[in-house]
Structure 1
Amino acid sequence: MKQFGGRDENMECKLIGGLLDIVGIVVEEQRRPRKYNETHLLYHAEMNLIEAIHENPQANARILSEILDITQGAVTQVTGKLFKKKLIEQYTMPGNKKEKYYRLTTEGERIRRGHQEYHKEANQKLCQYFCSLSDADAKVIFDFLEKIKECMPVSEFACRSDAGCRSSVERKKE
């Protein structure tokens, strides 16, 4: 394989491919329902709503839709599922029987805590790795992630070695 400045000429393709692999894994993880206790299989949207209800106890469907940036219809659909699973309950405020609000049931709160524990355990390995980095290495990774955000959105592509950074950008020397 040809080298450019001591690096594989397809390194850009490998980096972009690796990034797209990570994005794909995250998307797939969010699509897959998960058990946060022994009884309920929940989707990402359901957990987001459980967290939003917990964090905003006085929120109605309109407010929850704004918080989550989803339609009120989506809130109604997901709250219906959570209500059937007995994870939330509806209530009204005194003097306003029309407006419906939501709160977590005891089981809903247990699920929420299980979800928090899942994230704590899932992130532990990555956090340990980041803690092991020197400040300089951590800064390189942080700067890389910031640059990726600036380049969003990314999409899949057929990588060509002649379409890399060599055509218009000077590669940094080590």
Structure 2
Amino acid sequence: MEFKDIQNTWQQQSEETNIPDFEPAKQKLALVRKGQRITQLILGITGIILILFFFYISAYKFSGTLLGMSLLISVLIIRVFIEARSRQKLRKLNVLLSLEEFKAQLISYYENRKTLAFKIIPILLIVYNIGVIIMMYYFYQYLSRGFFYYIVISYIVSFVVLFYFIRKQVLAELLILKTLQEE
């Protein structure tokens, strides 16, 4: 085989080879990472506010408020940890693998997120609401009725809005998983 034959063969192979475009996948991953950072930031700020409130009301002095605030703070710390681990797993996805291997990694990632969304997060939400109910008992005893009702109404509105955004995120992730599994 002469050099011209090798060169022709190489040119034919390079024309036949179709390298997949990973840019859309990179952009989607960047959006998911950004969303996770925002979620972590919101959870972190809420946790800091609760910790400050914990010390402001001296919750550590009374067993009931200690239990209620501990539940609230613990759930937020666990949730921040879950999101940090999830971001870490997402960061480890290798976009330079073959399309099938990358797709398998994404499916695995979203299957784990699905498990979180349907098993872990509901339990955390229940525990968080138990903490809120415990604290509402003390708020009812020690705050004016107007301020107590303000807290109750704002909590319900906040919870509904939070639930809406969690649901929206879970549905988007389920759609991505379904799309990946169908391809």
- The reply to whether TM is greater than 0.5 is no
Higher helix share: 2
| Bigger RCO of structures 1 and 2 (CA < 8 A, at least 6 apart) | 2
**TM-score w.r.t. length of structure 1:** 0.31
Higher strand share: 1
